[in-house]
């Protein structure tokens, strides 16, 4: 299906799509426009994650022929917010994949199974297995991953720079490299969570490496911590990094992609990252990049930030009617606890070192700089300061800008620890859970209504990791709606606001656009789509034929009032920036309105929103 080789099509008309979320009915139905289904004698297991696992998925389906593993991937920058929303709403897939740190954010007793009675947790090393004080296990680990400093080893050798072995040496090295005209170290602070992330890493290095620090953190999570000393000391170190020019105001606009470009172009010598970043850098260019550990202010041992991913099982699997699916999920979790399963996950770039007993550190020289720290077990998990996020996330950004003092931040932290901080302001209420298509329909309806167009188009994310241009696999859940909820359903990248556009499109061309369907950034670059990705539509009613050839995918279509689509008539269409190509439309106009703004405007105006009738139906033979 080449984007350029498009066929002209005629007719179209009405439709409605019925879908279920992976957490609503917990059956074989897939939320959103999913990939084709499976044979009746196979068990569909859904896995929610934030990174694709192609090698692992293939191995699971080969090892267990009765299992079809379907991945739901959230690929946006609001992963922590999205994970929290899913767990709180009980919208779990069969297997939930979570990054280290997030598993301490929430009480999962009502949403995930306790795995402590299973045999496979015994396969893991003790310090890798998260177990609460009651002995319950809600997650089992994939391979360990570490966040450490990565540096351009080739550049270091050319300039004679020495890898630091203490925090003071690190500061001195940053100054030395800065003086050479190359940036010593830089963090992608353009992402809203990064200023706080850097703060938490410093807290981990200086406090989580001690028994006293671990005790304080346990008390903090339990709501018992009263001392602010760890926070004050960490903010002092943070301030010193600002004074040394490691944390700068101009970094508040830097994205992860821009940071990588600086590393590739030798404009930046060091940063902190994980294995997938260093692998990408070493594969793409001629320079060699390597790891070295992080250091606490008063501890020169060298520490690593323990990351990696953990896997849990939906609690609803305990129900008798879900026995077959539960057995399939337990087979998969047990497979993860083997050397083979761990190595496949490593191959999928979600870890570096197996967590099962008897595992050895790979001989790959990329580990040379951190091998000692790994062997000695010098790694700690990043603390997640849940109750302080509403304070520290915005205020550390303000602190970098010089708009707030340390004293003010500490006062606000004290109030938060005492439970005096107000929750996020509600802009409205969702009467019930939306599924993925209903969320897309809400966005399309909102654009059409607020921007006053005839039609609005919205791409819909799918199982298997497909996100259309400007699309994200996210839903609106029942309850109060805050600004973060609007952001996580409206945009994938927190450094790139999503603008609404309008244009004029002839009826004939509009049908062509709908027939071709949405496409991802990757598919647009390749000028070819893997399969048909139908748009959610506002202002029209459409029935799609999912398996039809291009040019015959619209079974019926009409305007929402029932009137026919006139081929030569011009219709006003609303869409998100980049969704339609200039040659597909006439009079394209960037409205200056963000999708977050128009959604907020609608939700505030209505007060309460609920899923409405979607405007599309489709027919789809899942057996193909």
pLDDT, one tens digit per residue, over 11-24 is: 333 233 333 334 33
Tokens of 579: 């969704």
- DSSP, residue by residue, 100-147: TTGGGTS--TTTB---TTSSGGGGB-GGGS---TT-----EE-SB-EE
> In this predicted structure, what is the pLDDT of residue 9?
30
Instruction: Quick: pLDDT tens for 477-506.
Output: 999 999 989 999 999 887 788 999 999 999
E strand or H helix at 49: strand 43-49
**How many angstroms separate the first and last alpha carbons of the chain?**
19
Domain assignment of residue 89, given as a range: 43-144+308-358
Tokens of 624: 């193909």
> In this predicted structure, what is the pLDDT of residue 11?
31
Residue reference for tokens 């920036």 = 577
- DSSP, residue by residue, 171-192: HHHHHHHHHTTSEEE---TTST
- Rounded CA separation 536/440 (Å): 6
Instruction: Quick: pLDDT tens for 205-236.
Output: 999 899 999 899 888 887 888 899 999 999 99
Q: Report yes or no on 464 lying in a domain.
A: yes
E strand or H helix at 617: strand 616-619
Contact predicate 268/262, CB 8 Å = yes
The percentage of residues in the chain with a pLDDT greater than 90, rounded to a whole number, is 64
Instruction: Quick: pLDDT tens for 51-107.
Output: 899 999 999 999 999 999 999 998 888 888 888 888 888 899 999 998 876 666 567
> In this predicted structure, what is the pLDDT of residue 553?
92
Taking the CA atoms of residue 398, residue 400, residue 404 and residue 407 in that order, the dihedral angle to the nearest 10 degrees is 130
| E strands present in 274-317 | 289-292, 294-296, 299-306, 309-313
Q: Which of 477, 485, 478 is nearest to 423 (CA)?
A: 485
> In this predicted structure, what is the pLDDT of residue 560?
93
pLDDT score of 422 more than 70: no
The percentage of residues in the chain with a pLDDT greater than 70, rounded to a whole number, is 90
Q: Report yes or no on 447 lying in a domain.
A: yes
Quick one: 302 and 190 in the same domain?
yes
Q: Which of 370, 349, 375, 340 is nearest to 360 (CA)?
A: 375
Three-class SS of 380-439: EECCCCHHHHHHHHHHHHHHHHCCCCHHHHHHHHHHHHCCCCCCCCCCEEECCCCCHHHH
- Reported residue count of the chain is 624
Q: Which of 209, 205, 213, 247 is nearest to 229 (CA)?
A: 213
> In this predicted structure, what is the pLDDT of residue 380?
85
Quick one: 300 and 387 in the same domain?
yes
Q: Report yes or no on 574 lying in a domain.
A: yes
- DSSP, residue by residue, 197-216: HHHHHHHIIIIITSHHHHHH
Domains identified in the chain, total number: 3
68: DSSP letter? E
Quick one: 447 and 577 in the same domain?
yes
pLDDT score of 367 more than 90: no
Quick one: 272 and 176 in the same domain?
yes
Pick from 204-208, 584-588, 613-617: least confident: 613-617
pLDDT score of 25 more than 80: no
Give the C-alpha distances (Å, rounded to integers) separating 494 from 189, 192, 398, 497: 11, 7, 17, 7
377: DSSP letter? T
Average pLDDT over residues 366-374: 87
Q: Which of 396, 406, 403, 379 is nearest to 199 (CA)?
A: 396
E strand or H helix at 97: strand 95-99
| Ramachandran angles phi, psi of 45, nearest 5° | -115, 125
Quick one: 207 and 343 in the same domain?
no
- Rounded CA separation 116/136 (Å): 6
Quick one: 263 and 313 in the same domain?
no
Q: Report yes or no on 426 lying in a domain.
A: no
Give the C-alpha distances (Å, rounded to integers) separating 567 from 164, 424, 508, 509, 512: 68, 48, 4, 8, 11
Could you tell me which residues come within 8 angstroms of residue 241 by beta carbon, excluding any fewer than 6 positions away? 171, 198, 202, 247
Instruction: Quick: pLDDT tens for 385-408.
Output: 888 988 999 999 999 999 999 999
Tokens of 425: 């302001």
Three-class SS of 426-441: CCEEECCCCCHHHHHH
- Rounded CA separation 344/578 (Å): 36
Measure CA 281 to chain center.
Answer: 21
Q: Which of 624, 33, 54, 11 is nearest to 349 (CA)?
A: 54
| Ramachandran angles phi, psi of 95, nearest 5° | -125, 130
Instruction: Quick: pLDDT tens for 551-572.
Output: 999 999 999 999 999 999 999 9
Average pLDDT over residues 508-514: 96
| Ramachandran angles phi, psi of 188, nearest 5° | -80, 75
pLDDT score of 613 more than 50: yes
Taking the CA atoms of 101, 105, 109 and 113 in sequence, report the sign of the dihedral they define: negative
Give the C-alpha distances (Å, rounded to integers) separating 213 from 217, 218, 228, 379: 6, 9, 12, 14
Quick one: 294 and 317 in the same domain?
no
Contact predicate 50/99, CB 8 Å = yes
Quick one: 209 and 265 in the same domain?
yes
- Rounded CA separation 97/74 (Å): 11
- Mean of all residue pLDDT scores within the chain: 88
Average pLDDT over residues 147-162: 97
Half-sphere exposure of 348 (CA within 13 A, CB side): 23
Count Cβ atoms within 10 A of the Cβ of residue 419 and give its class: 0-12 exposed, 13-18 middle, 19 or more buried.
exposed
- Rounded CA separation 424/278 (Å): 37
Instruction: Quick: pLDDT tens for 129-141.
Output: 888 778 899 999 9
pTM recorded for the entire structure: 0.80
Q: Report yes or no on 378 lying in a domain.
A: no
The CATH number of whichever domain residue 186 belongs to comes to 3.40.190.10
Quick one: 508 and 404 in the same domain?
no
- Rounded CA separation 444/129 (Å): 44
Quick one: 107 and 49 in the same domain?
yes
- Rounded CA separation 48/97 (Å): 6
pLDDT: which is higher, 331 or 375: 331
Q: Report yes or no on 376 lying in a domain.
A: no
Tokens of 501: 């556009």
The 8 Å CB, 24+ separation contacts for 158-163 are: 161/269, 163/292, 163/369
pLDDT score of 476 more than 80: yes
Quick one: 215 and 298 in the same domain?
yes
- Rounded CA separation 370/334 (Å): 29
Q: Report yes or no on 3 lying in a domain.
A: no
Could you tell me which residues come within 8 angstroms of residue 494 by beta carbon, excluding any fewer than 6 positions away? 76, 77, 78, 191, 192, 193, 487
Quick one: 108 and 216 in the same domain?
no
- Rounded CA separation 154/160 (Å): 10
| Ramachandran angles phi, psi of 542, nearest 5° | -135, 140
Q: Report yes or no on 30 lying in a domain.
A: no
The CATH number of whichever domain residue 606 belongs to comes to 3.90.780.10
Assign 357 to helix, strand or coil: coil
Instruction: Quick: pLDDT tens for 88-97.
Output: 888 999 999 9
């Amino acid at each position: 299906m080449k984007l350029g080789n498009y066929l002209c099509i005629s007719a179209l008309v009405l439709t409605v799509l019925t879908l279920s979320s992976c957490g609503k009915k917990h059956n074989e139905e897939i939320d959103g426009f999913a990939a084709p289904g499976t044979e009746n004698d196979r068990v569909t297991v859904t896995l929610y994650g934030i990174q694709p696992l192609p090698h692992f998925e293939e191995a699971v389906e080969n090892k267990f022929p009765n299992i079809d593993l379907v991945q739901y991937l959230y690929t946006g920058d609001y992963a922590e917010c999205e994970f929290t929303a899913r767990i709180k709403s009980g919208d779990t897939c069969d297997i939930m994949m979570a990054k280290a740190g997030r598993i301490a954010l929430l009480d999962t007793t009502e949403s995930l199974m306790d795995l402590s009675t299973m045999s496979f947790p015994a396969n893991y090393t003790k310090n890798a297995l998260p177990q609460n004080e009651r002995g319950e296990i809600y997650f089992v680990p994939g391979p360990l991953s570490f966040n450490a400093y990565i540096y351009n080893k080739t550049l270091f050798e050319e300039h004679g720079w020495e890898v630091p072995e203490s925090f003071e040496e690190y500061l001195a090295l940053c100054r030395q490299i800065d003086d050479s005209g190359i940036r010593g170290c830089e963090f992608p602070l353009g992402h809203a969570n990064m200023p706080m992330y850097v703060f938490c890493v410093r807290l981990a290095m200086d406090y989580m490496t001690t028994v006293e620090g671990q005790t304080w953190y346990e008390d903090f999570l339990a709501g018992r911590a009263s001392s602010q000393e760890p926070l004050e000391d960490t903010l002092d170190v943070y301030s010193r990094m600002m004074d040394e020019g490691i944390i700068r105001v101009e970094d508040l606009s830097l994205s992860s992609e821009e940071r990588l470009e600086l590393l590739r172009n030798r404009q930046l010598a060091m940063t902190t990252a994980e294995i997938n970043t260093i692998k990408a850098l070493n594969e793409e260019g001629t320079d060699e990049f390597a790891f070295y550990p992080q250091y606490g202010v008063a501890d020169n041992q060298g520490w690593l930030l323990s990351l990696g991913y953990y896997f849990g099982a939906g609690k609803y699997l305990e129900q008798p009617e879900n026995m077959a699916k539960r057995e399939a999920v337990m087979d998969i979790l047990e497979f993860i606890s083997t050397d083979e399963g761990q190595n496949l996950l490593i191959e999928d770039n979600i870890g570096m070192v197996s967590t099962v007993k008897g595992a050895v550190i790979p001989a790959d020289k990329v580990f040379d700089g951190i091998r000692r720290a790994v062997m000695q077990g010098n790694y700690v998990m990043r603390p997640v300061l849940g109750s302080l996020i509403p304070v520290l996330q915005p205020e550390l950004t303000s602190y970098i800008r010089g708009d707030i003092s340390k004293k003010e931040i500490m006062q606000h932290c004290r109030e938060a620890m005492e439970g005096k901080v107000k929750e996020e302001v509600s802009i409205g209420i969702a009467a019930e859970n939306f599924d993925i298509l209903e969320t897309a329909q809400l966005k399309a309806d909102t654009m059409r209504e607020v921007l006053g167009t005839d039609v609005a188009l919205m791409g819909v994310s799918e199982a298997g990791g497909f996100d259309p241009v400007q699309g994200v696999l996210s839903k609106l859940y029942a309850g109060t709606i805050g600004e973060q909820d609007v952001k996580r359903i409206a945009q994938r990248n927190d450094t790139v606001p999503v603008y609404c556009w309008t244009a004029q499109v002839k009826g004939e061309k509009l049908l062509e656009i709908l027939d071709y369907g949405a496409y991802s950034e990757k598919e647009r670059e390749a000028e070819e789509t893997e399969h048909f990705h139908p748009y959610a539509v506002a202002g029209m009613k459409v029935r799609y034929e999912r398996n039809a050839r291009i040019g015959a995918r619209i079974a019926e279509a009409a305007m929402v009032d029932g009137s026919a689509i006139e081929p030569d008539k011009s219709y006003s269409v609303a869409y998100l920036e980049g969704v339609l190509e200039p040659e597909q439309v006439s009079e394209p106009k960037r409205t200056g309105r963000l999708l977050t703004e128009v959604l907020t405007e609608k939700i505030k105006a209505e007060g309460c929103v609920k899923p409405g009738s979607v405007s599309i139906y489709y027919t789809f033979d899942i057996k193909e």
